[in-house]
Amino acid sequence: MVRVLFVCLGNICRSPTAEGVFRKLVGEAGLARQIESDSAGVSDYHAGEPPDRRAMEAAKRRGIDLGHMRARAVVPGDLSRFDYLLAMDRPVLRHLSGMGRRFAKGSGGQVALFLDHAPHLELREVPDPYLGGDQGFEFVLDLIEEGAKGLLDAIRRERLG
């Protein structure tokens, strides 16, 4: 089983969207028994809350249901449980890397920027749409779809042979 964790600040916009998009791709590829995914935030501000309404609406327009998800914070055990810990931006990446130094001591998964899996894009970070308008959520979905496709290709190459 390959395990992937998508991480943003509060786990109500970007990371649940990435989880939903990636799960859809994994399911369409017939790999749901081989690849597991989850999402979390580096803060617990929104723990237990559903994704942002605008994120859910944008995802639903693309056939992705985020309604069952609830926000949670990253915990030290995630560092050893997941093979890929993918940060939506550099501050989140620094937080995860710091946790790895404090808790995992080399036993954790690959910590990287999510959009490293979409090298053809000009951006390396998925911008936080929370304070913006509805168009920001559509743009984030566009970026996430590209990153998710690249990630699935990488997992197929690196882990599933």
**Residues catalogued as catalytic:** 8, 14, 128
The pair of structure tokens assigned to 125 is 């970070």
Please state the φ and ψ torsions of residue 95, each to the nearest 5 degrees. -60, -50
- Provide Rg for the chain, Cα atoms: 14
Q: Regarding beta strands 35-41 and 84-87, do their DSSP bridges make them parallel or antiparallel, or are they unpaired?
A: unpaired
The pair of structure tokens assigned to 47 is 């723990």
Following DSSP, what letter does each residue of 100-119 receive, concatenated? IIIIITT-S-EEEEGGGG-T
The angle, 0 to 180 degrees and rounded to 10, between the axes of the packed helices 134-158 and 53-61 is 60
The pair of structure tokens assigned to 26 is 């994994």
CA 136/CA 138 separation, integer angstroms: 5
